[in-house]
Amino acid sequence: MNLYLTLRLALSRVAAAKVRSALTMLGIIIGVGAVVALTAVGQGAQQGIDSSLASLGANQITVSATTPTGLQEADAEAIAEIEGVLQVSTQVRSGGTASYGSESISVGIIGVSPTHADLANPDVAIGSFLPSSPSLQNTRTVVVSAVGADDLGFTEASIGDEMRLQGVAFTIVGVLDDADGFGAGANVYITQDIARSLFSKPPYVGAISIQAVSQEAVPPVEYRVEQFLRYSKGVTRDEDATFSIFNQAALQDTIQTVTGTLGILITGIAGISLVVGGIGIMNIMLVSVRERTREIGVRRAIGAKQSQILTQFLMEAVVLSFLGGLIGLVIGQLASFGFSVLGGWDFFIDPTTVFVALGFSALVGVLFGVWPANTAAKLQPVDALRFE
Amino acid sequence: MAMTDFVVELTDVRREYKTGEVSTVALAGVSLKVERGEFVAIVGPSGSGKSTLMNLIGCLDRPTSGSVKISGKNIDTLDDNQLTALRSKAIGFVFQQFQLLPLTSAVDNVATPLLYQGLRPKEARARAGAMLTRLGLGERLEFDRGRLSGGQQQRVAISRALVTNPDLVLADEPTGALDTSSGEQVIDVFKEMNAEGRTIVLITHDLDVAAAANRRIYIRDGLIERDEVDSIAGAR
């Protein structure tokens, strides 16, 4: 009795009792399906976060003012001289009103220094970013975030049009893509020089973006910048600081911790549902052994060894759990395809997920099938034949 | 005297069953020899011990004391795997309720003992098909038990018992679940098989069925009451 025949026998058994097999597999189907879908959602979210981070650059450090006079242009100039700093840019921010045609909305107005484009590498969907040439810093040009463009009712043809910020006319030069950073709302970007004339007074700036020479240089640069600012502003206690420092790597660490926790959670759910599914299979296999006691007796009488009976029942348990895992995998992939459409991330079938889902469901069949199969194999032929 | 070829050799066999404190004696010391080529009926009422005797001859059970030799092998010295191997090679079973395997066609039922012996599926099916054809079931190879009459099912079961070419065919009330004419046909099959030289031990409570054999062993209360051999039955 080779494995192929044993497999065929097990499949015909499972097929002969369709409702019962389906109900038995349900635990595994739901468990594997849920885990596959959750994993895909997690990976999709991770992918979105990663691409946001990538657009911001991993070797960036941002110093934000925590008071209106917390940072000055002079600080930025000094920081640019610190060892390990490639370049810096400054930003000023304010809330304001933007209007285009008949639409008028509240926006965040961000004035950026000419180096911003190099540093933040903004993702421009249509048009271009603000001019970086020093001679053009006094032109009233504006770049609008995707959300802002949406809210204002932009079309492709809006590039080159005029819109108003705080009542002042600006020429629209570009619209940014979605991956504009976290919580990207309706923002507009203008040159810092123009921003000065609108709302902000020199020499204060809202934030300084720093690009380190490499990702490895980020921690020492961050340390030096902090020491410099503390010294220059005479900060001795943390609560007196007029600035806060933030780097992408730290954020990435935080996100990795969160996704790690999420992973443990998913693994936990997977473990519990597979155990529950496995117990279901074990239960039905024990019932099956009892129902088929006479058949086992006949098989023993016509020459089946204990090991051949064991293999037969074990195979049935594995077929049940593996099929359950396969169906769960398909359902989970369909669900994650749905989520990817809703969530706007790329759908892909992760080979690891497929392998782990099928591998573990087969393993569950073996683990929970051994006891019933062994019970069947250990039946005394004479008792099994006499069983009513 | 030349070495006689005994398929079954029981010497002072006792079999007791213990249920809690109570011990029941099913066989109280039975000695019995069956030669190759005999057609023996073991006759007795229910509770006489004939089923216990069948289980022992069929290597399905072990005696409490005494020795059971099947095809020259003492079953007491064999472990479960060796006993299974002996059963697979030496004995073909025919049961009262046919006991065809469910969800399995006639030909696959008959092929199963060969598959357990490790034959290739193709060869096993070919031999099974040939055996079924010999027993007049060539047209019904792919039928499962739901589509076969009782008599046909029993002929499939007999094919399954014969396909391994065993030293001994052991039949337990093979006509018990059949109507008279199907029963007679089954008995005719056994007679034919015996005429071809096969050894058959048939267990029954039915004296008409027992009459087909050329030796009848009457058993009662766990002991052999009478051993009756037809004078015309050649080789004794």
CB-based contact (8 Å) between B58 and chain A? Answer: yes
8 Å CB contact of B81 and A305: yes
* Number of domains chain A is built from: 2
Q: Are residues A169 and A283 in the same domain?
A: no
Q: Which of B95, B114, B159 to mutate to test the interface with A (most CBs of A within 10 A)?
A: B95
For residues A283 and A278, give the distance between their C-alpha atoms in angstroms, rounded to a whole number: 9
* Number of domains chain B is built from: 1
Q: Are residues A320 and A368 in the same domain?
A: yes
In this model, does residue A57 exceed pLDDT 70?
no
A183 — pLDDT class (breaks 50, 70, 90): very low
Q: Which residues of A have a CB under 8 Å from any CB of B?
A: 1-2, 5, 12-13, 16, 294-295, 298-306, 308, 380-382, 385
In this model, does residue A375 exceed pLDDT 80?
yes
% chain B with pLDDT above 90: 77
Q: Are residues A194 and A340 in the same domain?
A: no
Question: In this complex, how many residue pairs, one in chain A and one in chain B, have their CB atoms less than 8 Å apart?
Answer: 62
Question: What does the pLDDT read at residue A180?
Answer: 47
8 Å CB contact of B81 and A308: no
- Average pLDDT for residues A135-142, to the nearest whole number? 88
Return all residues near B97 (Cβ < 8 A) that are at least 6 apart: B177
For residues B178 and B160, give the distance between their C-alpha atoms in angstroms, rounded to a whole number: 18
Looking at the domain assignment, is residue A87 inside a domain? yes
Q: Are residues A125 and A39 in the same domain?
A: no
**Where are the extended beta strands (E) located within chain B?**
6-19, 22-35, 39-43, 65-70, 73-74, 91-94, 168-172, 199-204, 215-220, 223-229
CB-based contact (8 Å) between B214 and chain A? Answer: no
Q: Are residues A169 and A38 in the same domain?
A: no
Tens digit of pLDDT for each residue in A205-218? Answer: 989 989 888 878 88
Q: Find the closest chain B residue to A298 by CA distance.
A: B99
Could you tell me which of A328, A358, A334 has the C-alpha nearest to residue A347?
A334
Tens digit of pLDDT for each residue in B79-113? Answer: 999 999 999 999 999 998 889 998 899 999 999 99
When CB atoms are compared, the residue of A1, A301, A380 closest to B87 is: A301
- Average pLDDT for residues A173-181, to the nearest whole number? 73
Looking at the domain assignment, is residue A104 inside a domain? yes
8 Å CB contact of B60 and A302: no
Measured between beta carbons, which residues in chain A are less than 8 angstroms from residue B99? 294-295, 298
**Residue numbers of the domain that contains B46:** 38-60+80-229
Looking at the domain assignment, is residue B183 inside a domain? yes
- Average pLDDT for residues A23-30, to the nearest whole number? 92
% chain A with pLDDT above 90: 34
Return all residues near B10 (Cβ < 8 A) that are at least 6 apart: B30, B31, B32, B33, B56, B57, B66, B67, B68, B69
Looking at the domain assignment, is residue A205 inside a domain? yes
Phi, psi of B70 (to 5 degrees): -120, 125
Which residue type, as a one-letter code, is found at position B8?
A: V
Looking at the domain assignment, is residue B221 inside a domain? yes
Q: Are residues A153 and A275 in the same domain?
A: no
Q: Are residues A42 and A114 in the same domain?
A: no
- Average pLDDT for residues A61-66, to the nearest whole number? 88
Judge if the upstream peptide bond of residue A203 is cis by omega within 30 degrees of 0: yes
In this model, does residue A355 exceed pLDDT 90?
yes
8 Å CB contact of A16 and B113: no
- Average pLDDT for residues B119-130, to the nearest whole number? 95
Q: Are residues A46 and A71 in the same domain?
A: no
Looking at the domain assignment, is residue B90 inside a domain? yes
- Average pLDDT for residues A99-110, to the nearest whole number? 90
Could you tell me which of A303, A354, A321, A311 has the C-alpha nearest to residue A8?
A311
- Average pLDDT for residues A225-250, to the nearest whole number? 83
A3 — pLDDT class (breaks 50, 70, 90): confident
Q: Find the closest chain B residue to A384 by CA distance.
A: B60
Largest CA distance in chain B: 55
How would DSSP label each residue in A38-51?
A: HHHHHHHHHHHHHH
- Average pLDDT for residues A168-196, to the nearest whole number? 80
Q: Are residues A295 and A326 in the same domain?
A: yes
A54 — pLDDT class (breaks 50, 70, 90): low
Q: Are residues A44 and A166 in the same domain?
A: no
In this model, does residue A250 exceed pLDDT 90?
no
Terminus-to-terminus CA distance in chain A, angstroms? 27
% chain A with pLDDT above 70: 95
Question: What does the pLDDT read at residue B234?
Answer: 47
B1 — pLDDT class (breaks 50, 70, 90): very low
Looking at the domain assignment, is residue A151 inside a domain? yes
Q: Are residues A147 and A171 in the same domain?
A: yes
Tokens of A361: 């469901």
What A159-164 contacts at long range (C-beta under 8 Å, 24+ apart), as own/partner pairs, is A159/A126, A159/A127, A161/A100, A163/A98, A163/A99, A163/A100, A164/A98, A164/A99, A164/A100
Tokens of A384: 């099994």
- Gap from A359 CA to chain B (nearest CA, Å): 29
Q: Which secondary-structure segment (H or E) carries A91?
A: strand A85-100
Looking at the domain assignment, is residue B25 inside a domain? no
- Average pLDDT for residues A242-257, to the nearest whole number? 79
Question: What does the pLDDT read at residue A52?
Answer: 66
For residues A142 and B227, give the distance between their C-alpha atoms in angstroms, rounded to a whole number: 116
Looking at the domain assignment, is residue B151 inside a domain? yes
Q: Find the closest chain B residue to A17 by CA distance.
A: B103
Q: Find the closest chain A residue to B161 by CA distance.
A: A302
8 Å CB contact of A13 and B160: no
Largest CA distance in chain A: 102
B236 — pLDDT class (breaks 50, 70, 90): very low
ipTM: 0.92
Question: What does the pLDDT read at residue A261?
Answer: 86
Measured between beta carbons, which residues in chain B are less than 8 angstroms from residue A301? 58, 60, 87, 93
- The helix/strand count (H/E) of chain B reads as 7, 10
Return all residues near A214 (Cβ < 8 A) that are at least 6 apart: A59
Measured between beta carbons, which residues in chain A are less than 8 angstroms from residue B108? none
CB-based contact (8 Å) between B46 and chain A? Answer: no
pTM above 0.95, yes or no: no
In this model, does residue A345 exceed pLDDT 80?
no
Average pLDDT, chain A: 87
Measured between beta carbons, which residues in chain B are less than 8 angstroms from residue A6? none
CATH code, B175: 3.40.50.300
> Could you tell me which residues are beta bridge partners of residue B222?
none
For residues A46 and A41, give the distance between their C-alpha atoms in angstroms, rounded to a whole number: 8
Measured between beta carbons, which residues in chain A are less than 8 angstroms from residue B116? 1, 299, 302-305, 308
For residues A275 and A119, give the distance between their C-alpha atoms in angstroms, rounded to a whole number: 51
Measured between beta carbons, which residues in chain A are less than 8 angstroms from residue B92? 302
Could you tell me which of A218, A143, A243, A153 has the C-alpha nearest to residue A184?
A143
Tens digit of pLDDT for each residue in A66-87? Answer: 888 888 888 988 998 999 898 8
B235 — pLDDT class (breaks 50, 70, 90): very low
Q: Find the closest chain A residue to B169 by CA distance.
A: A302
- Gap from B110 CA to chain A (nearest CA, Å): 10
Average pLDDT, chain B: 91
Q: Are residues A108 and A228 in the same domain?
A: yes
Q: Which of B54, B60, B119, B156 to mutate to test the interface with A (most CBs of A within 10 A)?
A: B60
Q: Which B residues in the span 109-168 are in contact with A, Cβ-Cβ below 8 Å? A: 112-113, 115-118, 121, 160, 164
Looking at the domain assignment, is residue B174 inside a domain? yes
8 Å CB contact of A305 and B93: no
When CB atoms are compared, the residue of B88, B115, B164 closest to A5 is: B115
**B105 close to B96: Cβ distance less than 8 angstroms:** no
**Residue numbers of the domain that contains A329:** 3-52+253-386
Tens digit of pLDDT for each residue in B155-181? Answer: 999 999 999 999 999 999 999 888 999
- Gap from B55 CA to chain A (nearest CA, Å): 7
Domain-terminating residue out of A173, A208, A241: A241
In this model, does residue A55 exceed pLDDT 90?
no
Looking at the domain assignment, is residue B124 inside a domain? yes
Of residues A187 and A316, the one with the higher pLDDT is A316
- Gap from A324 CA to chain B (nearest CA, Å): 22
